[in-house]
Amino acid sequence: MHPFPRSTVLLAALCAASVQTAPPSTVAATYSVAATYSGADSRPRTITIDAFEKYLSQRFARDQIGKEAVQYIIQDTVVDREIERRGITITPEEVRQAVGAIEAQLKQFTNRTLEDELASKGMDRATFDNYYKKQIACERMVRADLGKSMEEPLRTEEQQLWISDRVKNAKPQLDNLAPGLVAAFEGRAITEGEVGHLIRLKMTRQDARDALQSLLGICIIQERGESAGIILKPDDIESAIGRRRERFSNHPMMAGVSFEQFLQARGHTLDDVRAEPAIRAEAYLWKFALQQFPDEDVDKRYTASRERYDGLYGEQRNVSWIVIPAGLVKNETVKKSFEDADAELKQMIPRIATPEEFGRLASMYSKHEESRKNNGELGWLHRREPGVEPVVLAAVFAPEAATGTVAGPVHINPGSALLYIHGRRAGPAPDVMRRFVRADLTADLYHKISAEAKPSTYLDPPPGKAAK
């Protein structure tokens, strides 16, 4: 029992957690400070590891990594109580031998030490040895109950079933809990801090750093907003949610999915969003930007960069495509030339009398796997849609590209594409466009404020080294 899979796959789990560089030695020695930054008054501020772990729990408790952490703590407690009930003891020598074997394998396969891997997760050797001691005791109990000798192999499924049966008997409570609690059973309360601690251990270094950067941004913006005398009202939070919903609806890959449906699929509700520290920070930043950039400044920005803003937020085309891999020269990996792929696509054009027929052909012949699952749909595209090749946008926004027509083939990376225009959508009203421009200015303001705060984290690479 430990925050990685069980003993027989422990080595693989340590490696799968990504080979990471140890945190800076000054932080690694204490594991108390997660990040520092300069406050609005230029005085230093700190974010503790405890505060970071609580944030991780609040943000990820309902995601898979959070659910796994809660389940682990429940299992860990159940096993602890079973060990105590049976009076099982594991000697330091048994732990030393077992962990020594793991160290040797880790060194052989990764050329790294166990200390390196543990340091990257903020775990000391004593904590790991204690986890492994518990694992040995757990395996001993499972073998005893199943009548297996130490020489017989013990499958992961057998051990997990043994633990699951005991968890069911514990009947953990996961809802209607006091603030700060995530689960409770048989007098044992599981706190947000405990769950956040495990989430941090299970995260890759980059994921943990990204989450810590988000928390830094929240703290920096909230403090700057409060120092500017900004007071948030419920309407400010609702407006922030509205802007998030608008961004969601404009994402080309979210066509046909509402913001509420997206939340529900992740196990979240609008009330969860309202309680997010991030949504409060967004509301603070927006109101701060309103102070900094009156409408006249926003209109000036739009006029100066009208082509760019119209391209990003103006008129749209609803597009599907069929993609066939091709290249200038055929070889072992590219089986068709552009001429071959173009000819194949052109043969399909007479068969396309309806959008449904285009979708059927896309599902049959397109090699772009992500869109193929949705009958070739790319969704609503702007004239300068990020991530979409300019040749595609030029074809679907050409004057002759009317609704219900086919465009192409066009040559993209990595092949030829046939395009279908389902519909056209006019650009937004002036007040909506002003909101988009203000959002751009707000993002610039956020980067400026963040840079002034000079944030640093225990996961930052040492000076002169790139982040991993």
Q: What is the dihedral of CA 172, 178, 181, 183, to 10 degrees?
A: 10
pLDDT for 413 beyond 90: no
Nearest to 131 by CA among 98, 153, 164: 98
Place of tokens 């937004």: 428
Kindly report the average pLDDT of the chain as a whole number.
84
Question: What pTM, to 2 d.p., does this model score?
Answer: 0.69
Q: Which phi and psi angles does 284 have, rounded to 5°?
A: -60, -50
Nearest to 117 by CA among 129, 101, 106: 106
pLDDT tens digits, one per residue of 91-149:
989 888 888 888 888 888 888 888 877 776 667 788 888 888 888 888 899 999 999 98
Q: Which phi and psi angles does 457 have, rounded to 5°?
A: -130, 160
Which pLDDT belongs to residue 168? 86
From CA 291, how far away is CA 285, in angstroms rounded? 10
pLDDT for 405 beyond 70: yes
Pick the CATH number of 315-425 from 3.40.50.300, 3.40.50.1370, 3.10.50.40, 3.30.499.10: 3.10.50.40
pLDDT for 20 beyond 70: no
Cα→Cα distances 88→7, 127, 139, 401, Å = 18, 19, 11, 76
Which pLDDT belongs to residue 466? 53
pLDDT tens digits, one per residue of 269-320:
888 889 889 999 999 999 999 888 888 889 999 999 999 999 988 999 999 9
pLDDT for 227 beyond 80: yes
Which pLDDT belongs to residue 401? 87
Which pLDDT belongs to residue 53? 93
- Name beta bridge partners: 191: 181
Looking at per-residue pLDDT, the higher value among 207 and 6 belongs to 207
Average pLDDT (24-47) is 75
- Residue 359 tokens read as 């979708």
Domain residue ranges in the chain: 7-203, 207-307+430-457, 315-425
